[in-house]
Structure 1
């Protein structure tokens, strides 16, 4: 790989290290709530090695290597530098790499799925490894993968048959996408959910499904599909092959997680919370996703807690097949003041949903009133921290029982000093700087609550039972004719749309937010305007900032597109690029790229504020209607073609625009999180913060001892 190509994979120098502030919110908790939060936090972080193993084979030894170096120098990095005989610059580059690694849970970016490598020479790492036998052992265990760029395909996560990196299919270099899909279909037919599994293809062609659980043996009462563990397949492409269920993946970590979750249950405020954690414990101990789903039902019912949490194998973005979940967990304190605004948004939900561009046949039969809370994050363990969450991801629960939404306030508001905002015209910088946080908060609220929460999946809920009138099917607004596709019994949204599902759904939710942010009644809930249409007032400023931010995000998203594999590395980025195309394709010159120089070095987005409510919203609603109806009716063929066309990157975008994006890219934030400690004798819980530096980041992980 030449030097220019390699440049984009170098670790940020310096990374943007920011601290998650939580102390004043944590101090407001009572003693029992602090203990409850502490044990949830421990359970979350005790899954950190799972995250590392889900990213790359070298991630866990790199993690141990970093901690061993801290031990080798007794936390004195200058002393370690002298011992290793490396330069100040080499030490800085090591620390910057370590901070980015710890902030991403591994050596691939959580936002983009691309590998990052140190800026210093390999000899500097080798010299550091030589400072202790322990560090040397862990460094040797990385097998040279820290710096390796020989195979460009391995610089991105993806399917093994395409040469990409994945550990969701360990020791299976010749497993194919067709085989993965066939096993997934078999699991679907058996009712075995995949979120906490990995899939292995053995040399003899047989398959093993590894199930995450503390116990290494099948539960005495049987697993989610009974006591049988080995199955012979008699038809299809897997005919003659066997599939074996293997319990105990990540068993050591799952046992520690289970123990901490049980302690959390002992300190719960309510019976609902206790039942939720007991269901978590059963799931993590025995590997049952049905028990995990039960925990999510209790989570929905845990209304208005002071300490909010969720934990498990949740999001499926990083599995190339889009069905296996990455470990994550969070513990957070509710911000009561900001939650009031979100409560207003929940109350307005019945009046907002009808503003969306489809009729009642394609909307949920029952309107839920979910919790929507603003949280201050104490702990978020995983490969990255979002700014908002809408879960559970199980459609049967969401469609029939409901869901909850959270906005992560201290993540959203964390800022680096002197943060640059490229691709925005000078005349727009002031309004964007003043209102982008407010616009983002409203967008996150509409995205999570209404975006992910709205819409009906037309389905055969069980054999020959339908949630719509099959004899007189709804009329599709796209064709003017009765629908001809729906979800068959056993099918899910994820299984039908496959690897496209994540980005597709993020696009749908973002479009809902873009559409409903044009409703001035929604802006009023957050304190902007009086609900009347006023594009020249403060509410208009917020709306303009929202559309500008989305258009800019569509440009910067190209950092996450790889021209070699022609692959998007991040679902949200793929979604935002398609929305920028929607803006540009709108009528009446609503949005365009503005530049005078051939190299696009002066590129800015030009968006006509006066046309947001006309040409802008019409384009958004037209695109949203198509995206939504294809999803609602299980029309994967039509939906994937539409979304694929909208996210296709031609030479202009993939070369000229992407080049200037890479030249202006800003380091993504990595967060230093506090730790809690408990005095077992007194039961007192204390909180420790760390400096927003690479050294502070490393110390926080040393103190976690996981």
Structure 2
């Protein structure tokens, strides 16, 4: 393959980790298990939505993978038998497994962490051989349909997610929608009070628009409006109808197992919003969710995060189900108990904080199911300021995600003298960081004006601490943080929360909440800052210098903070050149004695500006601040090259499935091995289909795969290689088979007699 193609190869040895949930799942009552099962089902029924939102050309690849690896009943076939039947090398087949598993893990052929395309390492010819060996007519047709999408890396701009006008890929907009079109429609939506969270935007050849709203049923009629430029826009409640019907049904099935009336109301609101596309119903679901404090089974579902919409206003599908880790939650509850004290330490005056700091719900969860392209370590939701400014938010730390370890994990750029301490305290320090980070998301007031012209602040007395002048900008009716700060909003807010974590964590009483005192507390703090510096450095992997575009919100945020720490001076943070295994590398030198005197004050000063610009809807100065902080100058190209050459593959989480046993009406948990095959089997068992019947296999291929699998199971030997395209030059298949059976006859008799 070309050098360009190699740049986009899927990871060669991706580390797979089992998302361990069984010990916590087994503590649930039968009723709670039913609730968890149906809500997990609802989350995963949205898989096809998520894939289509990311890349409109990726669903055939998803269907192709499942059709290759499953029989006509939808059950997983023997991968060893498929490998043998395909006649490709073991290496090529492993590369096929890796691509398939990584596609399923990312829910796309674009990385969930980086938004960059990846392609198989094996050749198109070997890929095709494996597809044909599966004997699935549907898989063969799907390969022909998606072959170019799987392997193409040109034009290069198409290898990134982003605005279509810039040549990038997006499932939220048709390819002919321009940036000006998006702004035009956004202004219309704000005027008409239409929330774009669950929408996509398409344009026809005549220049007219269609805003499709996700809904299982067309309960609301289409409406046509005239836009300011003379074009028309049609609002249609017809997007993702088939998967949302299944989502709604699963939620309906969960209602009898709700733990209380609040949960029941939440589920009924979910059912309504996914059935008819009503955003007010979704807001209701989140209000009830906030009121359902400390449930045994926690779940949230819907169009939640806006990271991957280049405009930052449309959200992708996700849903999770998790069980409470009560021991860890007690730590977070102590953090919550002292939240007013800790928030008062943030570097802004009371006028810029919410009048009432609602007691946030902070829980440590063990994930059972998470339908998403990339599982986070923590969550702070809902992302609805109309609710969070009044009711607060829920903060969630995902314990089994944080604690998951990959085999043979390496940590480039950490000095040898820091390595043991880093390995020992990386996860514990990250737990503290996640806790204070998620707490930070729930802080800060937004200055706004309601529809009656009333301001929620005193315009005469409040002074902007950055400009030393009166407040001049605020959120107008129909506007919110995402609509004002657009594409940088998600990363900007992640940066603000990370800065809050670094600003609060030096306080000894916060570290004590997590049971760290004395020297151990100091080590935790040091590793937290060291880890942030390393994250900022490795973030360069997610920056594309050609497009001058960041591909991951959190990593862009961490790069900004790394820059702040570098610019703090006084030798607080330095990157020094070194050699590792004969290659150029870098070592991070961070002076732990200056964290409280140099590092934390610099971060707090930057945090103040982030908060003030956000609070006052000052997207002009806020955008300038953030773009300056995340600018990657050309002199950093050599550093980026070192980072790229040292990059490590990201962990891939293999999730269990819940199974409803039809015989005893009980829920069972089925786990899978942490491997590429285990990942594929996990998704095959979910049986998230497009409503069409399963594929058929031609009889010869089905026989070959079946015999090969049977022989391995019964005889401990593999059936001979087989091609359905038998020619005169090939050895006769029948003779090979007979010879094989004669060789195995003794073992077969011996096994039968025991």
Q: TM-score when scaled to structure 2?
A: 0.89
Q: Is 1:577 matched with 2:577?
A: no
Q: 1:141 aligns with which of 145, 161, 181?
A: 145
- Cα displacement string for residues 134-193 of structure 1 (whole angstroms, at most 9, x for unaligned residues): 210111221511010121001000000000011111xx3221111111101111111111
**1:231 Cα offset (Å):** 1.0
* Contact map agreement 1:19 1:673 (CA 8 A) in 2: yes
1:86–1:375 Cα change, 3 Å: same
- Residue 289 of structure 2 aligns with which residue? 299
**Following the alignment from structure 1 to structure 2, what is the Cα–Cα distance between the partners of residues 25 and 326?**
28
* Map 1:113-124 → 2, pairs under 5 A: 113-124=115-126
Q: Is 1:199 matched with 2:197?
A: no
Q: Is 1:278 matched with 2:282?
A: no
- Residue 694 of structure 1 aligns with which residue? 676
Q: Is 1:405 matched with 2:395?
A: yes
- Cα displacement string for residues 357-408 of structure 1 (whole angstroms, at most 9, x for unaligned residues): 1000110010111111000000000111000000000111111121101110
Which SS does the other structure have where 1:130 is aligned? helix
Q: 2:659 aligns with which of 651, 654, 677?
A: 677
- Residue 224 of structure 1 aligns with which residue? none
1:248–1:372 Cα change, 3 Å: same
1:247–1:139 Cα change, 3 Å: same
- Residue 28 of structure 2 aligns with which residue? 29
Q: 1:448 aligns with which of 429, 438, 461?
A: 438
**1:501 Cα offset (Å):** 0.4
**1:587 Cα offset (Å):** 3.4
**1:61 Cα offset (Å):** 1.0
**Following the alignment from structure 1 to structure 2, what is the Cα–Cα distance between the partners of residues 16 and 92?**
14
**1:129 Cα offset (Å):** 2.1
- Residue 9 of structure 2 aligns with which residue? 10
**Following the alignment from structure 1 to structure 2, what is the Cα–Cα distance between the partners of residues 405 and 369?**
11
**1:597 Cα offset (Å):** 6.2
Q: 1:494 aligns with which of 466, 470, 482?
A: 482
* Map 1:124-523 → 2, pairs under 5 A: 124-131=126-133, 132=135, 133-169=137-173, 172-215=174-217, 217-219=218-220, 229-233=223-227, 235=228, 239-449=229-439, 451-470=440-459, 472-523=460-511
**Following the alignment from structure 1 to structure 2, what is the Cα–Cα distance between the partners of residues 600 and 199?**
47
Which SS does the other structure have where 2:401 is aligned? helix
* Contact map agreement 1:8 1:662 (CA 8 A) in 2: no
Which SS does the other structure have where 2:305 is aligned? coil
* Contact map agreement 1:36 1:268 (CA 8 A) in 2: yes
Q: 1:634 aligns with which of 617, 635, 639?
A: 617
* Contact map agreement 2:164 2:175 (CA 8 A) in 1: yes
* Contact map agreement 1:600 1:657 (CA 8 A) in 2: no
**Following the alignment from structure 2 to structure 1, what is the Cα–Cα distance between the partners of residues 675 and 282?**
37
**1:477 Cα offset (Å):** 1.1
* Map 1:598-609 → 2, pairs under 5 A: 601-609=584-592
Moved more, 328-337 or 47-56: 47-56
Moved more, 632-641 or 74-83: 74-83
**1:6 Cα offset (Å):** 3.7
**Following the alignment from structure 2 to structure 1, what is the Cα–Cα distance between the partners of residues 14 and 579?**
30
- Cα displacement string for residues 507-555 of structure 1 (whole angstroms, at most 9, x for unaligned residues): 10100001001111110000011xxxx5xx1110000000000000000
**1:503 Cα offset (Å):** 0.7
**Following the alignment from structure 1 to structure 2, what is the Cα–Cα distance between the partners of residues 166 and 464?**
37
- Cα displacement string for residues 621-675 of structure 1 (whole angstroms, at most 9, x for unaligned residues): 111111111111111110110110110001222x211111111111101111000
List gaps (5 residues or longer) in structure 1: 220-226
- Residue 20 of structure 1 aligns with which residue? 19
* Contact map agreement 1:15 1:99 (CA 8 A) in 2: no
* Contact map agreement 1:674 1:700 (CA 8 A) in 2: yes
Q: Between Structure 1 and Structure 2, whose CA radius of gyration is higher?
A: 2
**Following the alignment from structure 2 to structure 1, what is the Cα–Cα distance between the partners of residues 264 and 410?**
46
- Residue 628 of structure 2 aligns with which residue? 645
**Following the alignment from structure 1 to structure 2, what is the Cα–Cα distance between the partners of residues 593 and 473?**
45
**1:602 Cα offset (Å):** 3.2
**Following the alignment from structure 1 to structure 2, what is the Cα–Cα distance between the partners of residues 95 and 302?**
42
- Cα displacement string for residues 25-54 of structure 1 (whole angstroms, at most 9, x for unaligned residues): 000000000000000000001000111111
**1:254 Cα offset (Å):** 0.2
**Following the alignment from structure 1 to structure 2, what is the Cα–Cα distance between the partners of residues 401 and 368?**
6
Q: Identify which of structures 1 and 2 has the higher relative contact order when contacts are C-alpha pairs closer than 8 Å and 6+ apart.
A: 2
Which SS does the other structure have where 2:235 is aligned? strand
- Residue 698 of structure 2 aligns with which residue? none
* Map 1:528-677 → 2, pairs under 5 A: 528-529=516-517, 537-596=519-578, 601-653=584-636, 655-677=637-659
Q: TM-score when scaled to structure 1?
A: 0.95
**Following the alignment from structure 2 to structure 1, what is the Cα–Cα distance between the partners of residues 366 and 590?**
34
* Contact map agreement 2:200 2:314 (CA 8 A) in 1: yes
**Following the alignment from structure 1 to structure 2, what is the Cα–Cα distance between the partners of residues 71 and 103?**
18
List gaps (5 residues or longer) in structure 2: 689-754
Q: How many residue pairs align between the two structures?
A: 682
Which SS does the other structure have where 1:54 is aligned? helix
**Following the alignment from structure 2 to structure 1, what is the Cα–Cα distance between the partners of residues 248 and 122?**
40
Which SS does the other structure have where 1:244 is aligned? strand
**Following the alignment from structure 1 to structure 2, what is the Cα–Cα distance between the partners of residues 197 and 186?**
14
Which SS does the other structure have where 1:601 is aligned? strand
**Following the alignment from structure 2 to structure 1, what is the Cα–Cα distance between the partners of residues 144 and 124?**
13
**1:83 Cα offset (Å):** 2.0
Which SS does the other structure have where 1:314 is aligned? strand
Which SS does the other structure have where 1:603 is aligned? strand
* Contact map agreement 1:212 1:247 (CA 8 A) in 2: yes
**1:228 Cα offset (Å):** 6.0
* Contact map agreement 1:58 1:141 (CA 8 A) in 2: no
Moved beyond 3 Å, runs of 4+: 5-8, 596-600
**Following the alignment from structure 1 to structure 2, what is the Cα–Cα distance between the partners of residues 618 and 8?**
40
**1:592 Cα offset (Å):** 1.1
* Contact map agreement 1:504 1:575 (CA 8 A) in 2: yes
**Following the alignment from structure 2 to structure 1, what is the Cα–Cα distance between the partners of residues 130 and 222?**
50
- Cα displacement string for residues 307-333 of structure 1 (whole angstroms, at most 9, x for unaligned residues): 000000000011111111100000000
